[in-house]
Structure formats: C-alpha cells, structure tokens
Amino acid sequence: MTANTYAFEARNVTKKFGANVVIEDLSIGFEPGMLHSILGPNGAGKTTLFNLLTRDLPVTSGEILLKGDTVTKLKPHQIARRGVGRSYQISSVYLDLTFQENVWLAAYRAAHGGRIGWWRRVEHYDALRAQASQLLSKLGLEQYEHTLARSVSYGDQRLLEIAVTLATRPEILLLDEPTAGLSQRETERVKTFIASIKTEYTIVMIEHKMNVVMEISDRIHVMNRGALIAAGTAAEISQNQAVHAAYFGL
C-alpha cells in the first residue's frame, strides 16, 4: 500500500435499480486511520454505497478498491475476510443471547466461515469466550457480559452491535446510523464510544445527527441524489453553500 492509497474507495461507480439511477458516477475515497462521516438526506444513496463497498450488491458500472486492490468481483465474505466489518442501520444482534455469546459467536464465525465444528476442542471455545470478555471490558460493557441482549436498552444493544462487529477484528469499520432511534443521552454514549475507538480503525459512519458528525469526524462527505456534493473537515462543511442548499434546504 502506497502512502496515498485509500483504505476503501469507490471509483466512477453507478448503481441502477431498474430504471432508477440511485448512484451516478460516484468517486469517493476513505483515507486510512480516519473517522469519516457520510451525511445526506433520506434516499441519497448512503446505505446503497455501503452495499456496493461490501459487495452485498453488485455495481452497475465502476470499480471498488480495498487497500488499493480491485475487489469489484469479490463476494461479501471475501470482503469481510480482508478486514471489513459492518454494522447495520437496524440493530441485528441476537436478543436471546448474552452479550458474551453474541460477541464470541461473531468471532467464531469470522474465524471459521460460519461453520460450527463439533469436532473442535473445548479449549478453543474457552479461548474465544475469554477474548469476548476481554473485548467487552475494553469497551466498558463488562457489566453486561452475562446479560441477555433483550434485557438492556436499545442504546446498549447498539453498543453491543458495534462490539459484535469489532469481534471480527476488522481494520475498516462501516457503521450505518449507529445512533438511529437513540435518545439524546444514549446518542452521547455511542458518540463517546466511537470517538474512543477511532484511532484504532478506519471508520466510515453514515449519520444524520449533526452534532455527532461535527464533533467526532476527521472528514465529512456529503451525498445528495447519488452524488458527492462536498467533502472536507467539519469547519469546511459547515461553511459550504452547496451543502446548505441541498441538505439543510437553506
């Protein structure tokens, strides 16, 4: 990887659903080691961009590059194996498992491609459980280790979801609206949490809440109608007329 290679990049990407052009000739790159936010009105194509990056959806045309390599033809699990972790807009944790079980299951699946092997030695599971506990402590969630995901607040479930994503040991973390549906207090917690891990990962976060985006992002990318209309620091974006016109309707 050369110094100016993006961690993740979409190059001249177009995505159509039938006649509906959702992303049009979009080029966007995410520098390694930074916290990037993607802003944009509903329907701008943000989640679709994630789906194209992770190969959950095929591009209509254009290229996806991961750490400088073309990955446009890879399968989603191959993208994951190359160090990409993703959390979803709607929480996807297992409500009837404990925090520790959710985390170790994710770690296990990442390590073994989803197969539960009855032939594996019991020590192997113990090691994974210990790793899961360690991760939960690191994230300040140790009090919930043996608590069912169902019995905590939605905010704590969202934190668990991030922990589950981190259990797969990603280098690049894609977060789709991590504070969606959270109260102001819970939003603060998730924001602080993301800020606390941001030096360890390349993070790309889709987020609507302006205070979250402005306070913790190193770089902000603004999308509208499937195109990138601005990119820069919080200070630059808040001064940008195109962003005001398109996004704030001013």
List residues binding Mg ion (CB under 5 A): 46-47
CB of 47 or CB of 165, closer to Mg ion: 47
- How far is residue 222's CA from residue 224's CA, in Å, rounded to a whole number? 7
CB of 39 or CB of 166, closer to ligand ATP: 39
Which of ligand ATP, Mg ion, none is residue 67 near (CB under 5 to 8 Å by kind)?
none
- The answer to whether 191 touches 179, Cβ cutoff 8 Å, is yes
CB of 89 or CB of 131, closer to ligand ATP: 89
Q: How far is the CB of 40 from ligand ATP (least distance, A)?
A: 5
Residues 6 or more apart in contact with residue 67 via CB below 8 angstroms: 1, 5, 7, 8, 82, 83
Residues 6 or more apart in contact with residue 10 via CB below 8 angstroms: 26, 27, 28, 29, 49, 52, 53, 59, 62, 63, 64
CB of 40 or CB of 83, closer to ligand ATP: 40
Which of ligand ATP, Mg ion, none is residue 26 near (CB under 5 to 8 Å by kind)?
none
CB of 59 or CB of 206, closer to Mg ion: 206
Q: How far is the CB of 88 from Mg ion (least distance, A)?
A: 10
Which of ligand ATP, Mg ion, none is residue 59 near (CB under 5 to 8 Å by kind)?
none
Which of Mg ion, ligand ATP, none is residue 147 near (CB under 5 to 8 Å by kind)?
none
**Strand 202-206 vs strand 219-224: parallel, antiparallel, or unpaired?**
unpaired
- The answer to whether 103 touches 159, Cβ cutoff 8 Å, is no
Q: Given the rule CB under 6 A, which residues bind ligand ATP?
A: 17, 22, 40, 42-48, 89
Q: How far is the CB of 96 from ligand ATP (least distance, A)?
A: 27
- How far is residue 163's CA from residue 139's CA, in Å, rounded to a whole number? 7
CB atoms within 10 A of CB 85: 23
Which of Mg ion, ligand ATP, none is residue 43 near (CB under 5 to 8 Å by kind)?
ligand ATP
Q: How far is the CB of 44 from ligand ATP (least distance, A)?
A: 4
Question: Is the torsion defined by CA of 103, 104, 110, 114 positive or negative?
Answer: negative
With CB atoms as reference, the residue minimizing the distance to Mg ion is 47
- How far is residue 208's CA from residue 194's CA, in Å, rounded to a whole number? 15
Which of Mg ion, ligand ATP, none is residue 155 near (CB under 5 to 8 Å by kind)?
none
CB atoms within 10 A of CB 52: 24
Place of tokens 């994630």: 50
CB of 33 or CB of 76, closer to Mg ion: 76
Q: How far is the CB of 226 from Mg ion (least distance, A)?
A: 13
